[in-house]
Amino acid sequence: MIRQALLGIVVLCACLHGADGQALDPSAHLTAAGKSVPAPVLPNTAADSMPGRVARGKYLAAAGDCVSCHTRHDGEAFAGGVGFETPLGTIYSPNLTPDNETGIGTWTAADLRRAMHEGIGRGGRRLFPAFPYTSFTKVSDQDVDAIYAYLRTLKAVRYRPPDNGILFTQRWAMALWNALFFEPGRFKPDSTQTTDWNTGAYLVQGLGHCGACHTPRNMLLAEIADRAFAGGTLTDAVAANKARLWFAVNLTAVHNGLASWSVDDLAKYLKTGYGQRAGAFGPMVDVIVNGTMQLTSDDARVMSVYLKSLPAQEGQNHLAVAEQTKLGGTIYKARCEKCHMSSGRGGFLTGPPLASSAIVQADDPTSLINIILYGQGTPNTLSSNTWETMQPYADALSDDEVAAVSNYVRASWKNRAPAVKSREVARQR
């Protein structure tokens, strides 16, 4: 569930297609009352019953955003076939329905545990971290078994995804990669932290696999542990038949991250796709609509509690502040000011604030460029209490003009960010 070589792969498996949006019984919530340990399981009366286990598995599948990478456009849910373009070729997501020939109908619960915990599929085939087992290894056995129980209830779909690129047949290399970069093991609570913090950490680090997108990677595309959540580059669609780079913002307490966000701001954003600081767009739309929106308010909040506790991680680039340009200011006044205001603070139901925005100030400007070129693209499944949908400017503004207005907002209202160059805009078209 994920995405760029293995990063281009390690980022997309992040959402749930086909969730019905119905709240589960409170006993199925990860933060169920009376639990004093993280990642609590259902009470025995529910956990020992198949309906209770299936219900919990469905909820956990939403928390893990399992379906996005396993449901191709106009395809049946979980049947696979989503293709991810990477420097190594194309890799396609597998069929997760219980079809015996083309899906995982012959898999046992132990097979799924081994895949999620060790990155080894049925028959001993090593998996690529396009499937984020590097995060899922933290998920408890009970929760993996619940997910398995839910997957077994899906409609069996006879569909075989296309063959992967030839380089993805060389699975032996993953043994070395795992030895260098993968540490298997279940989540261990921190006894010095609260139950809310630990449950939030369990969700974010494990099923949520937020670090897969929001952590920079090394030359071999492994997450850089000491830069966790400092922001990362990923590949996703920006328009029909077009995939471009995006930048998943820094989630730590820095000026170009979540420093200006409160726990309530972040919890509302995760639950609705809308908050005082930002509205969802780009790849995060799917994460919200198909993943975090399906969680209870309590679980969205504990994730926020954990994220707001992350130690500050400055971005990878420490360049001079972008210079304001006369052209950028002129474009802003003509095209942007009506919604975002001259103060950059945004307007009620018109536009989010650009002042102190993590997207605007990101070291990598690709997400800002994309939203200027292609608009917000927010689906109607998000709350109606959002700002007006931003229109695309790809046909209205040149590369130089997009760079100019980007630099204007990145250097105004005490914003600090590196300068955007026209060639960076051209790359995103």
Domain residue spans of the chain: 1-245, 326-428
Residue 7 has pLDDT above 60, yes or no: no
Distance CA 76, CA 90 (A): 21
Secondary structure (3-state) at 70: helix
Beta strands in 82-134 (DSSP E): 83-86, 89-92
Beta strands in 29-179 (DSSP E): 83-86, 89-92
Question: With contact defined as beta carbons under 8 Å apart, do 325 and 420 qualify?
Answer: no
Give the residue with greater pLDDT, 84 vs 228. Answer: 228
Question: With contact defined as beta carbons under 8 Å apart, do 428 and 370 qualify?
Answer: yes
Q: Minimum mean pLDDT among 138-152, 269-283, 292-306: which range? A: 269-283
Distance CA 429, CA 426 (A): 5
* Residue 308, φ and ψ in degrees, nearest 5: -70, -10
Closest to 385 (Cα-Cα) out of 263, 273, 234: 273
**The pLDDT of residue 386:** 62
* Residue 29 token pair: 């919530």
> Could you tell me the fold of the domain covering 326-428?
Cytochrome Bc1 Complex; Chain D, domain 2 (1.10.760)
Residue 385 has pLDDT above 60, yes or no: no
Distance CA 362, CA 191 (A): 34
Residue 16 has pLDDT above 60, yes or no: no
- The residue written with tokens 């199925």 in the block is 28
Secondary structure (3-state) at 231: coil
**The pLDDT of residue 273:** 87
Contacts of 279 (CB under 8 A, 6+ apart): 273, 352, 376, 378, 386, 387
Secondary structure (3-state) at 175: helix
Closest to 1 (Cα-Cα) out of 122, 75, 96: 96
Interval 327-333 mean pLDDT: 93
Which amino acid makes up residue 387?
W
Distance CA 107, CA 152 (A): 10
Distance CA 367, CA 249 (A): 9
* Residue 223 token pair: 């997450």
Interval 94-109 mean pLDDT: 97
**The pLDDT of residue 3:** 34
pLDDT tens, residue by residue, 194-224: 999 999 999 999 999 999 999 999 988 899 9
Distance CA 242, CA 314 (A): 31
167 — pLDDT class (breaks 50, 70, 90): confident
* Residue 366 token pair: 């690709």
Give the residue with greater pLDDT, 376 vs 308. Answer: 308
Tell me the whole-structure pTM to 2 decimals.
0.85
Closest to 197 (Cα-Cα) out of 205, 297, 96: 205
* Number of CB atoms found within 10 A of residue 220's CB: 11
367 — pLDDT class (breaks 50, 70, 90): very high
Residue 27 has pLDDT above 50, yes or no: no
**The pLDDT of residue 37:** 43
Q: What percent of the chain has pLDDT over 70?
A: 83
Distance CA 307, CA 265 (A): 12
- The residue written with tokens 């279940």 in the block is 186
Diameter over CA atoms, the chain:
67
282 — pLDDT class (breaks 50, 70, 90): confident
Give the residue with greater pLDDT, 237 vs 127. Answer: 127
